Structure 1
Amino acid sequence: MKHTYNIQGMTCNGCKTNVENALSNLKEITKVEAFLKEKTVAIEMSSHISLEKLQETLLNAGLHYTIEMPGHKKHKEVKIIEEGNGIFYCPMHCEDDKTYNSQVGCPVCGMDLVEQPKLQVTTKYTCPMHPEIIKDKQGNCPICGMDLVAIEPSENEKDKTYQNLLKKMKISVLFTVPIFIIAMADLIPGNPLTKMFSQFTWNWIQLILSLPVVCYTCWMFFERAYKSIKTWNLNMFTLIGIGTGVAWLFSLVAMFFPDVFPDQFKTESGTVFVYFEATTVILTLVLLGQLLEAKAHSQTNGAIKELLKLAPTEATLVTESGDEIISIHNIKKGDFLRVKPGDKIPVDGKITEGHSNIDESMITGEPIPVDKKIDDAVSSGTINGTKSFVMIAEKVGSETLLSQIIHMVNNASRSRAPIQKLADKISKYFVPVVILVATITFIIWRYFGPEPAMVFAFVNSIAVLIIACPCALGLATPMSVMVGVGKGAQNGVLIKNAEALENLNKVDVLITDKTGTITEGKPSVEKVINTAGTFDENLLQGIASLNQYSEHPLAEAIVNFAKSKNIKLLESKDFEAVMGKGVIGTVRNKKIALGNKKLMELVKAKITSEFDTKIITEQEQGKTVSYIAINQIVVGYVTITDAIKATSKQAISLLQKQGIEVIMLTGDNKRTAKYVADQLNLASFQAECLPEDKLNVIKELQSQGKIVAMAGDGINDAPALAQANIGIAMGTGTDVAIESSEVTLVKGDLLGIVKAINLGKGVMKNIKQNLFFAFIYNILGVPVAAGLLFPFFGILLSPMIAAAAMSFSSVSVIVNSLRLRNIKL
């Protein structure tokens, strides 16, 4: 049998080969062929293999690709070994979101890979007396009987890269400082070192001291340089490796074969000038830059780590025999959990007993605690107030809102913004151009420079190679994106990818729905009136029975109103929701239609002018009115109110001050829409819109060159959200909302759109600042290193100063990116 699967994550021929090799190891597979362009893999197998086994095979081989059946929606979750400790990614995202299972350096740019934070909180327990005992849950030690205690992960384990580089840095400094002092002996009054040993001996001492730096602490730079040349992925380490390697090998040859050099390379004592101090100082400075970057990287994904800290590790399970402390990973749907004062809520669910106020600021960004009562939803990671309650678990593990937020933030922080294409394009040609400039520098100084011309040519060409490092250029965008996405998540603004951040900066039109976006989205029935103008219990029973199986908010409001009146619901048949018009069905053999004028026209039910006048009066007060028809005769109406959110007017005013046009598109009638628009000072609105009408409005605006953002509930407005340049889902961050939009506002508040747009503008401003830092160092540094200022001011740039400037450029980019953590949204 033969099957073809889609496969996400292949970016090069190497990936293609790895996939084929990994899958061919399965004994059931007789032939496998991957297709890079189509992103598919064709598999011939002797017996059927499950999709889960194929996925597991790829993951076990260290290939973090998603394999799926054609036509199926991409899996939102892959069993997360890929998100755990020991998985690394390139901070420059050279191969997009590709990850690696060893820290060997990026195969494209050569940079240190950054370890992903583990996206699943697991608590292990051990015995204080017998550390070899490790259990998944609390209990007693089987050896001594002592209570087991939680194992807290050490800081060293959290940041292995930083600790490893710190160790190497200390060793480098230990050996580099003496070399530097020896080389600078001429500047010490009286030059006491020459009285101890000859220059020849000191050169040998420098050579010996340089070996630990060149051959151990900084050897990785030469490995990366070699790999970059071998694969022709020229990068910053190409320049560093060539520059320092040439200087060290030159010095080595000078030690063993001094006679091959002309006199201009020799000192008064007859020894050749050596550059051990330049080599070791440059390498140590580059190592310092890597160390500072590693420290900063741990801060840039600090938002993810803070979100991870929100996840509790234990919960209190309510059982018939009493309360029991269990691991959060053992919670099942339907379990009843007791949440005590001050506890973190373990999973998503609803309160079934008691009430409390809950601090949801860690997810929504809003500091004011929210009162919660029976049947109200609560989210994992939020913090209970001063009262205890019992809840039922509805979403556990990766289904919880907190887990979705963490995964979304982690994925978005590794995505690439369109502006990064500029940096990528420049970097592609940058290194060859720099090598060419260094070569030209050598030639000009060799044939046109002052004596010793060869020395000047050698030193200045190395300075050009060292200072012109593209590292800062590559870091400029990803660092800002990573910090910006994390900042948004902490304020209830979930960004799906970096492109959304860039587009938020350009938005000039916001399309917004009314119900649930501008209004509270919690409609309530005010009255059910018959043609005589009085409350009619039979009409309420009919329309409530008709709507009892509908999930629409208006239907739910009608059913709840009937229940509050203790009205028994009857059996309904032939229920049908007519998109944008209302619902129809049969109750007690009577055909009931409930909806707007368009529905009445559809079922051919006539409305008298006198009756219509009453309804107009209700609509002009901002109420939603639905006609009730039985057997094609209009017999009454139901009035439903939905309060405008307190923050809507403030948010719209702030958006308008930023020059953003706000347009309300609603399926409600014109009078109700006008009332709401007047309350919010909206100049533009359209009423009685079907989903396709919203879609067409957005297309029309886009044809005029507008960048359109659409705010809706992520379900009914899915076509419009998909068409808009930026889809903004309002609500509680459900699966549908997150999947159907580029931005999800956890709190479902228009002020969240203001935060999102401010975040987009802040991130783009920060990226441009970073690109300026990256470019300015190279624009100014390369000419100075080449000796452009020497004829005018006698200024030359030492290779050691060039190395310091190169490292500082990368650090300045990262430090500037970290400023986003303090941006006010």
Structure 2
Amino acid sequence: MQSTDETTQRPIDPVCGMSVDPARAAGRAVHEGQEYWFCSKSCEAKFIAEPAKYVKPSKPACCDGHGGHETKAPVSSTSPHHASEADYTCPMHPEVRQSGPGSCPECGMALERVAPLTRSRKRQYTCPMHPEVVQNGPGSCPICGMALEPLEAGEEDEQDPELTSMSRRFWISAALTLPVFGVAMSEMIPGQPLQARVSAQVLVWLQLALATPVVLWGGWPFFQRGWASIKTLKLNMFTLIALGTGVAYAYSLVATLAPGLFPPAFKQHGVVPVYFEAAAVITTLVLLGQVLELRARAATSGAIRALLDLAPPTARKLLDDGSERDVPLEEVVAGDRLRVRPGEKVPVDGTVVEGSASVDESMVTGEPVPVKKAPGDPVTGGTVNGTGGFVMQAERVGADTLLAQIVGMVREAQRSRAPIQRLADLVAAWFVPAVLVVAVVAFVVWLLVGPSPAFSYALLSAVAVLIIACPCALGLATPMSIMV
């Protein structure tokens, strides 16, 4: 897994502001002797058309800088210098602040350390499907339109906004789709009892009213992703979903609002057949697939947070003058001597130098029996000291600890695509253009040799091809297989 430092050193796409890996960049251009890299062909085309628009001295609205340019970073309130200026404060007199522990000059109360501000810094986000896309702050992938996820695992228990949005869209869409499906399928009931009591025009307008929020609101994320895939020429499953549901809804809307445009031969029970139920059902099924996939990723995020909770927030450091002090875990460096008391967690990886204890290492080995530790024995950060206290020397801290590496591997596995997802992407890359070709061929053949009115039959045939090819099964099968 790449570190944050390595990511921040990547060149920046001057058009959209994304961090770009030159080895995986979609395009490259040279302007006035300066080299620029791009995340997509669309960004490259925009830059080539108007390079001055993106390299002017003033900072673009969407970019933090340009690849290859050295920009002066703004001074952040989260820098170590500012953090150390207000390290400790008095609970009773918050205006009292100083660097390091001590007593309050107002009341004599022991000062308490201010919560570190580093957690409020900007986090970098990446796309689960396109890891080369990296940016500061949340947003959508410019290639596929998916919501970006944090590049580094966070300790805070965050609610995934995309999962919340998709779940809300699914449940509301499901409630509206059921009556649409029931009305459409009621024609199959012998005797058609519903049609005998309610006119066909009323039933069509009822389907329009119920299906409109499902397709336009519930399916809006799919239209965004489909459009993004077309702009970047990276066709995928959402391209067909957007085309299929969009064309079905548009055709049905025209058939409902302007039925006179269609010949009498098209009409059944006085109305033109519509596809509102197909558009609504496809949208709802794909929403269900997205909810299942996002829940699977959320479960992995919960596991990451559980791993992060294994590390204690502070460590008891032995100072040179023989005193001891609790310090934040991020301030521990290799070579520090730390005291671990009974019942406490081992803060970092290191070696016992004094004392002996029984340490619960089930976090690493799964073995429930505590392991005896004596001077010279290694200890692992996140394990629990059972009985006895000891002094250890820190050897691996921060991202070098075993716990941090485990978290990194889990996070990398979460962001990587499963083999079945890669297969689905490969199939979709060929399937989408093939479907579009078949739809065009069907339209042309019916237009040239079809019965009169040829244009109406050709349009209906092309619409039918796009609806039938809409990969709602693929939208469900892939996330369900990932969950299993």
Query: What is the TM-score when the length of structure 2 is the normalising length?
Result: 0.67
Name the SS for the 2:176 alignment partner. Answer: helix
Q: CA deviation at 1:166?
A: 0.7
**What residue in structure 1 maps to residue 251 of structure 2?**
250
Q: CA deviation at 1:162?
A: 1.5
Residues 549-607 of structure 1, C-alpha deviations (whole Å, 9 max, x = no match): xxxxxxxxxxxxxxxxxxxxxxxxxxxxxxxxxxxxxxxxxxxxxxxxxxxxxxxxxxx
Kindly indicate whether the alpha-carbon contact (under 8 Å) linking 1:117 and 1:304 is maintained by their aligned counterparts in 2: no
Distance 2:298 2:317 in 1: 35
Residues 395-440 of structure 1, C-alpha deviations (whole Å, 9 max, x = no match): 4333433224433554466568999988766554332123223444
Counterparts of residues 409-424 of structure 1 (less than 5 Å): 409-411=410-412, 414=415
Kindly indicate whether the alpha-carbon contact (under 8 Å) linking 2:222 and 2:238 is maintained by their aligned counterparts in 1: yes
Q: Which range moves more in the overlay, 296-305 or 318-327?
A: 318-327
**What residue in structure 2 maps to residue 799 of structure 1?**
none
Distance 1:265 1:309 in 2: 65
Name the SS for the 1:337 alignment partner. Answer: strand
User: Is 2:232 the partner of 1:237?
Assistant: no
Q: 2:469 aligns with which of 465, 468, 472?
A: 465
Kindly indicate whether the alpha-carbon contact (under 8 Å) linking 2:350 and 2:393 is maintained by their aligned counterparts in 1: yes
**What residue in structure 2 maps to residue 294 of structure 1?**
294
C-alpha change, 1:241 and 1:33, in structure 2 (3 Å) is: closer
Amino acid paired to 1:106: C
Q: CA deviation at 1:392?
A: 3.6
**What residue in structure 1 maps to residue 216 of structure 2?**
215
Q: CA deviation at 1:305?
A: 4.1
C-alpha change, 1:277 and 1:417, in structure 2 (3 Å) is: closer
**What residue in structure 2 maps to residue 16 of structure 1?**
37
Kindly indicate whether the alpha-carbon contact (under 8 Å) linking 1:315 and 1:328 is maintained by their aligned counterparts in 2: yes
Counterparts of residues 671-682 of structure 1 (less than 5 Å): none
Kindly indicate whether the alpha-carbon contact (under 8 Å) linking 2:127 and 2:141 is maintained by their aligned counterparts in 1: yes
C-alpha change, 1:413 and 1:170, in structure 2 (3 Å) is: closer
C-alpha change, 1:83 and 1:265, in structure 2 (3 Å) is: farther
Name the SS for the 1:178 alignment partner. Answer: helix
Q: 1:109 aligns with which of 136, 144, 157?
A: 144
Distance 2:161 2:196 in 1: 45
Distance 2:203 2:421 in 1: 49
User: Is 2:310 the partner of 1:310?
Assistant: yes
C-alpha change, 1:243 and 1:119, in structure 2 (3 Å) is: closer
C-alpha change, 1:104 and 1:189, in structure 2 (3 Å) is: farther
Counterparts of residues 520-539 of structure 1 (less than 5 Å): none
C-alpha change, 1:418 and 1:810, in structure 2 (3 Å) is: closer
**What residue in structure 2 maps to residue 807 of structure 1?**
475
Name the SS for the 1:279 alignment partner. Answer: helix
C-alpha change, 1:212 and 1:6, in structure 2 (3 Å) is: closer
Identity %: 40
Q: 1:119 aligns with which of 153, 162, 177?
A: 153
Distance 2:419 2:163 in 1: 30
* Bigger radius of gyration among the two: 1
Distance 2:341 2:187 in 1: 72
Amino acid paired to 2:160: D
Name the SS for the 2:144 alignment partner. Answer: coil
Q: CA deviation at 1:233?
A: 2.3
**What residue in structure 1 maps to residue 364 of structure 2?**
363
Kindly indicate whether the alpha-carbon contact (under 8 Å) linking 1:350 and 1:391 is maintained by their aligned counterparts in 2: yes
C-alpha change, 1:364 and 1:358, in structure 2 (3 Å) is: same
Distance 2:119 2:128 in 1: 16
Kindly indicate whether the alpha-carbon contact (under 8 Å) linking 2:316 and 2:327 is maintained by their aligned counterparts in 1: yes
Kindly indicate whether the alpha-carbon contact (under 8 Å) linking 1:337 and 1:392 is maintained by their aligned counterparts in 2: yes
Name the SS for the 2:141 alignment partner. Answer: coil
Q: CA deviation at 1:260?
A: 1.3
Counterparts of residues 483-502 of structure 1 (less than 5 Å): none
C-alpha change, 1:42 and 1:163, in structure 2 (3 Å) is: closer
Kindly indicate whether the alpha-carbon contact (under 8 Å) linking 2:244 and 2:466 is maintained by their aligned counterparts in 1: yes
C-alpha change, 1:326 and 1:13, in structure 2 (3 Å) is: same
Q: CA deviation at 1:218?
A: 1.3
Kindly indicate whether the alpha-carbon contact (under 8 Å) linking 2:141 and 2:148 is maintained by their aligned counterparts in 1: no
C-alpha change, 1:424 and 1:284, in structure 2 (3 Å) is: closer
C-alpha change, 1:85 and 1:218, in structure 2 (3 Å) is: farther
**What residue in structure 2 maps to residue 407 of structure 1?**
408
Q: CA deviation at 1:308?
A: 2.3
Name the SS for the 1:16 alignment partner. Answer: strand
C-alpha change, 1:421 and 1:810, in structure 2 (3 Å) is: closer
C-alpha change, 1:465 and 1:24, in structure 2 (3 Å) is: farther
C-alpha change, 1:356 and 1:410, in structure 2 (3 Å) is: same
Aligned residues: 397
RMSD after superposition: 4.4
Q: CA deviation at 1:267?
A: 1.0
**What residue in structure 1 maps to residue 378 of structure 2?**
377
Q: CA deviation at 1:178?
A: 2.0
Kindly indicate whether the alpha-carbon contact (under 8 Å) linking 1:360 and 1:382 is maintained by their aligned counterparts in 2: yes
Name the SS for the 1:385 alignment partner. Answer: strand
Unaligned runs of 5+ in 1: 27-31, 35-40, 57-79, 122-152, 468-802, 817-825
Name the SS for the 1:810 alignment partner. Answer: helix
Distance 2:476 2:160 in 1: 22
C-alpha change, 1:167 and 1:272, in structure 2 (3 Å) is: same
Q: CA deviation at 1:203?
A: 1.6
Distance 1:247 1:419 in 2: 29
**What residue in structure 2 maps to residue 498 of structure 1?**
none
Name the SS for the 1:184 alignment partner. Answer: helix
Q: CA deviation at 1:256?
A: 1.8
Distance 1:390 1:175 in 2: 64
Counterparts of residues 425-504 of structure 1 (less than 5 Å): 427-440=428-441, 457-458=461-462, 460-467=464-471
Q: CA deviation at 1:345?
A: 0.9
Unaligned runs of 5+ in 2: 1-8, 12-19, 29-35, 60-64, 77-116
Q: CA deviation at 1:389?
A: 2.2
Kindly indicate whether the alpha-carbon contact (under 8 Å) linking 1:341 and 1:386 is maintained by their aligned counterparts in 2: yes
Distance 1:278 1:419 in 2: 27
Distance 1:292 1:421 in 2: 18
Kindly indicate whether the alpha-carbon contact (under 8 Å) linking 1:348 and 1:400 is maintained by their aligned counterparts in 2: yes
Distance 2:405 2:360 in 1: 19
C-alpha change, 1:172 and 1:379, in structure 2 (3 Å) is: same
